[in-house]
Chain A
Amino acid sequence: MEFIGYFGEVFQPVSFMLLLIGTIGGLILGATPGLSPTMAVALLIPFTFQLEAAQGLILLGAAYTSTVAGGAVSAILLKIPGAPANIATTLDGHTMAKQGRGAEALQLSFLASAVGGVFGVFLLIFLTPVLAQWALAFGPSHLFWLAILGVTVIGTLDSNSVVKGLLSGCIGMWLATIGFDDIMGAQRFIFHPELSGGINIIPALIGLFAIPQVLTMFARGREPSGAEVLAVQRHPIRKAIGETLRRYKSLILGTGIGSFIGLIPGVGGQIAGLVAYDQARKFSSERRKFGTGHSEGVIAAESANNAMVGPSLVPLLTLSVPGSPTAAVLLGGLLIHGIFPGSDLFDNHPDVAWTFINSMLVGQILMCIFGLYVAGLAARVAQVPQSVMAALVLGLAVFGSYSVQNSMGDVYVMAALGVGMYFLERFGFAAAPLVLGLILGPIAEANFIQGSMIADATTGRLTYFFGGALNLALIGIVLASVIYSAWMEIRQRRIDRKDEEALA
């Protein structure tokens, strides 16, 4: 119950103001199609430089939480999910809005998001210290395999092609080796003087997430968005609370599924929302109503996609292995303040860690309160033309990258990686494993070198890296994720081929 002692920090004037800004801003950003939670958090990082570590993380955490929930606004009122996590919400949410029940759908989505989100953060609170203690037993070989696991799982599960996902992870790990080697001081892959300091993670993150989105908006040309905001009639909140409680089965199912999926690295909110929606329909006595504007569909999907937010940070805070691209961006936010997450985070920086986690808890409540008031404005912002949004995001990306260390080199790296990533994505490569490779590469390398030194002096490298139950378990998970994803890919290809033959 150590976390209770740090609640006061969240209510300090500056911290609370940042929490409010992050929550309201996140709701608006989340509602904007094309601005994913990951990209929103990446673009916000430069604004945390002048803040204290805990305050910066409060802003980023609040933005992460509320962008996921804010995505429901455009999903419901515009039928455009603000983020992939809100895809399942459109199925019933937008139909409700078309039936003149937009306010009810929004109220249900924010209430369900808050319940799921609070449960998820409680999981984070109670699981993190336990796992952090367990993580103390990890040696260099385990941390090496854990870093490989992080890249592999995201590379295989978060990508349409196993080989291209893993290749993206390798490219990220290679990019992480650019610059001077930490131990020998040797130059590695420095083909331009601007790269002598290596690739700074923040401009890289901004480039990899923001620039492909800008180019995607360019690709649509001058076509108008065509989205029409549906009117929101008044609806008593107590009725929405009553409905949410009456649909407790979907709420519990969504929250449980979201929390569980959040703990699995690489499986994002999109999967959480869709799986919860599907299971809620299977277990519902009114399953025929799903898709026709049924409240259970909104409740299940939204409770799930917010419930995964807290658990998705458990691997990051305990093992310094980000379980999702957004967690990877948050890791960047921690690193620029000189804070290295891991087993000793709660011993060395308990104030930062607990204030951050507590702020996410309070942020869930604020998001629920402000969500309904901000929804109308957010839906209007979601109608901002793509041309304005693309130019604005590009401007923020350039200024934000430069402000990291007042270096034009960072801006060049941001643009080069972003443009390159856009073209790679068009051919099936994925940004998430590349980012994970870039972030986990140095962790993997440091532990590989350290482990090799220990191994050379003791049992030999083969026994050191491939011996012991924990090493074997981690290698087993790496192999299982690759084999499972490859099998799923082959199965999907067979289904596609059958469909093509049937059409022919």
Chain B
Amino acid sequence: MSRWQHVVPSGIVAAVGIWVCWISYTQQPAQAFLFPRLISTVFVVLALWTFGKAVLGWSRVGDGISRRIFINIAPGLLVLLIYVFWAARALGFYTAGTLAFFILLSLYDPAPHSEAKSWIKRAAITLGFLGVMYGLFAGVLNVFTPREVLFQ
């Protein structure tokens, strides 16, 4: 794993730490930021330590993100982010959830994509998922989700 793989995340953590520390020491009323000051001081010291180690190439803990892992994760992560940050509200929880489930299943299912049988199986599993989710959350827990089923 390259040194930069450690430098980037520890740099982001250090930047967040410095920002938290800056806000804690500059915002008012001071009494409200007493505890954040204490925490952020330790936070920034540890974050800079970690960042320094990463820059010097001394960071050894963690496997990092290999090219293969990144390629494997990217489509699923994209579906996850679109599902959570857009589709769930825009299309409704059940529609978006069902679509996301089916897309993820199709993306990561090792069964051949050229056979009609495997597509029927995926569709059946997805319908089962919709049934279980609707039964549990709408039926048992009475959760009212945005747009409910099919944009209603």
Partner of B43, one of A174, A221, A222, A386: A174
How many of chain A's residues have a CB under 8 angstroms from any CB in B?
Answer: 67
CA distance A124 to B144 in the complex (A): 39
Question: Is A468 part of the binding interface, using a Cβ–Cβ cutoff of 8 Å?
Answer: no
Within 8 A of B (CB), among A440-458: 441, 444-445, 448-449, 452
- Tell me whether B141 and A403 are in contact (CB under 8 A): yes
Contact code string B2-42 (vs A, CB < 8 Å = 1, else 0): 00011001100100110010010001110111111011101
Contact code string B129-149 (vs A, CB < 8 Å = 1, else 0): 100010011001111111000
Residues of chain B with a CB closer than 8 A to A126's CB: none
- Tell me whether B62 and A427 are in contact (CB under 8 A): yes
- Tell me whether A395 and B36 are in contact (CB under 8 A): no
Residues of chain A with a CB closer than 8 A to B57's CB: none
- Tell me whether A408 and B38 are in contact (CB under 8 A): no
Contact code string B51-74 (vs A, CB < 8 Å = 1, else 0): 001000001111111001101110
Within 8 A of B (CB), among A50-68: 50
Nearest CB in chain A: distance from B12 CB, A: 9
| Chain A binding surface, main DSSP class | helix
Interface stretch among A165-173, A303-311, A366-374? A165-173
Partner of A419, one of B5, B43, B77: B77
Partner of B100, one of A189, A391, A423, A428: A391
Question: Is B127 part of the binding interface, using a Cβ–Cβ cutoff of 8 Å?
Answer: no
Nearest CB in chain B: distance from A176 CB, A: 9
- Tell me whether B46 and A449 are in contact (CB under 8 A): no
Partner of B46, one of A167, A386, A444: A167
Residues of chain A with a CB closer than 8 A to B39's CB: 170, 173-174, 177, 441
Residues of chain B with a CB closer than 8 A to A49's CB: 141
Interface size class on chain B is 35 or more
CA distance A184 to B31 in the complex (A): 8
Partner of A220, one of B61, B72, B89: B72
Question: Is A160 part of the binding interface, using a Cβ–Cβ cutoff of 8 Å?
Answer: yes
Question: Is A387 part of the binding interface, using a Cβ–Cβ cutoff of 8 Å?
Answer: yes
Question: Is A228 part of the binding interface, using a Cβ–Cβ cutoff of 8 Å?
Answer: no
- Tell me whether B105 and A221 are in contact (CB under 8 A): no
A218 and B84 in contact, given A390-B108, A395-B101 (Cβ under 8 angstroms): no
CA distance A188 to B25 in the complex (A): 12
Nearest CB in chain B: distance from A284 CB, A: 35
Question: Is A264 part of the binding interface, using a Cβ–Cβ cutoff of 8 Å?
Answer: no
Nearest CB in chain A: distance from B109 CB, A: 5
Residues of chain A with a CB closer than 8 A to B73's CB: 215, 218-219
- Tell me whether B50 and A218 are in contact (CB under 8 A): no
CA distance A414 to B137 in the complex (A): 18
Question: Is A394 part of the binding interface, using a Cβ–Cβ cutoff of 8 Å?
Answer: yes
Nearest CB in chain A: distance from B20 CB, A: 6
Contact code string A140-172 (vs B, CB < 8 Å = 1, else 0): 000000000000000000001101101100110
Partner of B50, one of A47, A164, A388, A496: A164
A415 and B85 in contact, given A219-B72, A402-B145, A493-B60 (Cβ under 8 angstroms): yes
Question: Is A406 part of the binding interface, using a Cβ–Cβ cutoff of 8 Å?
Answer: yes
Question: Is A5 part of the binding interface, using a Cβ–Cβ cutoff of 8 Å?
Answer: no
CA distance A239 to B1 in the complex (A): 52
A415 and B84 in contact, given A171-B43, A388-B105 (Cβ under 8 angstroms): yes
- Tell me whether B108 and A218 are in contact (CB under 8 A): yes
- Tell me whether B107 and A387 are in contact (CB under 8 A): yes
CA distance A494 to B105 in the complex (A): 44
- Tell me whether A398 and B97 are in contact (CB under 8 A): yes
Question: Is A224 part of the binding interface, using a Cβ–Cβ cutoff of 8 Å?
Answer: yes
Nearest CB in chain B: distance from A499 CB, A: 13
Question: Is B123 part of the binding interface, using a Cβ–Cβ cutoff of 8 Å?
Answer: no
CA distance A238 to B129 in the complex (A): 41
CA distance A46 to B145 in the complex (A): 14
- Tell me whether A395 and B129 are in contact (CB under 8 A): yes
CA distance A423 to B36 in the complex (A): 25
CA distance A219 to B77 in the complex (A): 10
- Tell me whether A399 and B80 are in contact (CB under 8 A): no
Partner of B125, one of A171, A219, A388, A402: A388
Residues of chain B with a CB closer than 8 A to A448's CB: 34-35, 38
- Tell me whether B34 and A399 are in contact (CB under 8 A): no
Residues of chain B with a CB closer than 8 A to A167's CB: 13, 43, 46-47, 50
- Tell me whether A408 and B104 are in contact (CB under 8 A): no
Within 8 A of B (CB), among A202-233: 211, 214-215, 217-224
Nearest CB in chain A: distance from B120 CB, A: 15
CA distance A217 to B104 in the complex (A): 11
CA distance A429 to B63 in the complex (A): 11
Residues of chain A with a CB closer than 8 A to B17's CB: 170
Question: Is A462 part of the binding interface, using a Cβ–Cβ cutoff of 8 Å?
Answer: no
Residues of chain B with a CB closer than 8 A to A163's CB: 46, 49-50, 53
- Tell me whether A188 and B88 are in contact (CB under 8 A): no
Partner of B143, one of A171, A183, A403: A403
- Tell me whether A189 and B93 are in contact (CB under 8 A): no
Nearest CB in chain B: distance from A32 CB, A: 15
Question: Is A503 part of the binding interface, using a Cβ–Cβ cutoff of 8 Å?
Answer: no
- Tell me whether A408 and B31 are in contact (CB under 8 A): no
- Tell me whether A164 and B61 are in contact (CB under 8 A): yes
Q: Which 10 A-B pairs have the closest CB atoms?
A: A428-B61, A428-B62, A218-B76, A387-B108, A186-B32, A181-B32, A170-B43, A221-B72, A427-B62, A391-B104
Task: Pull 21 A–B residue pairs with CB atoms less than 8 Å apart, ordered by A.
Answer: A160-B62, A161-B61, A163-B49, A167-B47, A171-B43, A173-B39, A181-B32, A184-B31, A186-B29, A211-B80, A219-B69, A394-B101, A395-B97, A402-B88, A403-B141, A412-B85, A419-B81, A423-B65, A428-B61, A448-B38, A449-B35
Q: A186-B33, A406-B144 are in contact. List 4 more A-B contacts (CB 8 A).
A: A406-B143, A408-B88, A415-B80, A428-B59
